[in-house]
Structure 1
């Protein structure tokens, strides 16, 4: 099946403050004292499929042709395995948190982004994966596989990944930006006031932290996803000073594309997807890998701790890791495939693979991949001063992001 130039489906609106915070707190383990479901062991052998598979997924990770008849990797899976797939689609990571906050909810598998995956592992809501039972697992990028390793166990099968870049309109932005300072330094951002776009995610705080890592070495920031209260407060102040110059915080990738195409934006933080789409459309845009460091993200298939259909789930993880399905998912979602063989032969366009750095181990090794911020790190590891305390968790990041970007401007 060949898919060309397909635009990925959009993502839904941001949740209300109260609903979002309750979802984040619940996923972090603050859900009224309810106990997690309990740790389970990885499977050692597989039996026949159970005939059913219940999944939770982000938009675009499960397609059966209903959105586009050319986009269907569910039907052939069902025909081959006898596992009938049913699923619920989460609008985004926050909506997924809401779906999974009930510890009594049973699911066989979930396509989890990093901020959700970390909390699922911490809450014992997903089971370790036995890589030996996933044919083709070793062909997936080693760096991505190791991101899901904790205590000698693997907690998922990488599906897609991407990096966060700077994009600018070459006609309007001169000289070319070199790093995150172009977005977060108030004097630099003021030059393009009202024409800056930024990704709408609490994890964007990490890019502000990278800017501070170079700008204010006294903060001793090491890992931009592991910030002490003092470091998080400093990053939030950067965002507060930047906010008057921001035109929009984009939730759907297509929103950033539209802003650049329509001239409402000339500078922003984006994914390779927007750069690829606009470049192919002939727009005068360029991307920059920020000098302070490139952040990245992953989405992985994880198996539920109480999966009722584990054999079908292992077959699904194997199916979605195959080069042909990876090719389809990459083109539909606008993300890089975890299996570099998706770029072999005539599967994906060479330009696509180049733009997304598929198979570029040197580039992958430099990307600072997101993980769920957690208190479970020492002040020393975070680069903090002695006695300053532990790190901040994702609920604190979310609260700070909402207060800085969603509430009325003061």
Structure 2
């Protein structure tokens, strides 16, 4: 049986590198597994982790997936133009031009829900919208981090995201927004980054994740109930989770939907999870342009470093052929990427090396097209967001 590298080599022979590919068999298997893990709870696709409109459309056409979580309001407006009917913007925005366009477009205003955690964000949105605007739909972003009150050793585990943490804070924000004309509070969102985005790399981390899941299971229902009491009606959406925490979020009866994106492509940051078996689906290929010394080979391009803390975990990883590693002195280079290891002695000028990125969607910003491979055949070549002339980050 041919190796992954051999399959990708055969499928892309004659195509110029650097190039990006998605293995459709792995993508399909990952999508099926996400639906299984969600146990009937609809999955909202995180576009930030995909950034290929064709793949987003393909996921939305599958049973078990419903709606998109966008990372930009301008992106959300564009997706609605392309026919997406349900877009939750995952982050607050103060883009007054995009807010004006949203409020002026009845179809967009019905399809898009803004994320807020501060009245000031809504004040900006309403000023941008102007008089006679269509109502704006909003979702409250509730901080899902774990806060341990240990006296002088009190600690915060998770990202510093929303200032809204307690049921009372959520109720106060809901009340302030409900009193404003033209604002429709649709629901609440909880993103537990310290669970969904943190690999199971050790006993302390696993213990922190268990404690966070237990805390959130208690607090999430209290927040939902507090907001419900203020609004006097049930919430339309309670969003939670990510690719690494689908099971715990979907198990909570108050959750109406979960979000996943990275679990489709499975970048290297998701290799250490126990919740699911990683099936890498997205790769990029570089061509060897020189062999400077025994045990070394140099590929053209490759400086696709992921966002986040500056560490080796954010660097791309050579995976095919085996026995290759980045050099500590140069890492992944803007124009050239030196490789070393036992696999380098088997490489000749013109050979292709396949890499995985540390984060799922970011690598697609580097390419204007992605080749969709099944077996040893490119079934289709489709534009990325960049290829569609759209950059939102």
TM over 0.5: no
Q: TM-score, normalised by structure 1?
A: 0.27
Q: TM-score, normalised by structure 2?
A: 0.28
Point out the structure with the larger strand share: 2
Larger radius of gyration: 2
